[in-house]
Amino acid sequence: MSTRLPSSVSFDEEEEEDFFKKIWARCKENPFVPAGTLATTGAITLAAFSMHKGNRKKTNIYYRYRVLFQGLTLVALVVGGLFFQKEAQGSQKSKEDLLREKAKKREQLWIEELERRDAIIQARKLRLQQSKDELRELAREEFEKERLLEDTEKKQ
């Protein structure tokens, strides 16, 4: 038995969030990691430019900054993970609640769709029965007319 929803039920407004929304949400959870990543990238870019210019002393300094920023980013990742862990657990519970509500809503929509389809089927059955009854009544009337006509012909 298939558990797919009927084609007339659509959940387009409840699509999963896209990649950029997920990234933005992660940046809000721990803002120090993206800042450290940008600082590291900046240090590498400056090192590349100074290397291109041939300035070894500045290149070495920028690479040291890169190592420092990478270390700070790693520390921010660990500390942020520990610090924001409680908040993430609370939001995880709320996400589970949202998923439960979403499942209940889908189930309710599914039930409504099935009830709508059942009502349509019942209406069709009723119309079919009425049509059958009308045809039987018409046939009975015609049969009665033919019998009366035959009886009058026999009497003559």
φ and ψ of 17, to 5 deg: -65, 145
What pLDDT does 6 receive? 54
What pLDDT does 156 receive? 72
Query: What mean pLDDT comes out for the span 90-95?
Result: 73
Helix (H, G, I), strand (E, B) or coil at 84: coil
What pLDDT does 107 receive? 95
Contact 6, 117 (CB under 8 A): yes
**Token pair in block for residue 22:** 């997920």
Radius of gyration of the chain (CA): 38
What pLDDT does 93 receive? 72
- Rounded Cα distance between 121 and 115, Å, is 10
Nearest to 73 by CA among 43, 111, 53, 96: 43
- The mean pLDDT of the chain is 85
Nearest to 62 by CA among 70, 53, 50: 50
DSSP string, 110-125: HHHHHHHHHHHHHHHH
74 has a pLDDT exceeding 70: yes
1 has a pLDDT exceeding 50: no
3-state class percentages of the chain: helix first, strand second, coil last, to nearest 5: 85, 0, 15
Quickly state the pLDDT bin for 119 (edges 50, 70, 90). Answer: very high
Between these two residues, 37 and 11, which has the higher pLDDT value?
37
What pLDDT does 90 receive? 67
What pLDDT does 5 receive? 54
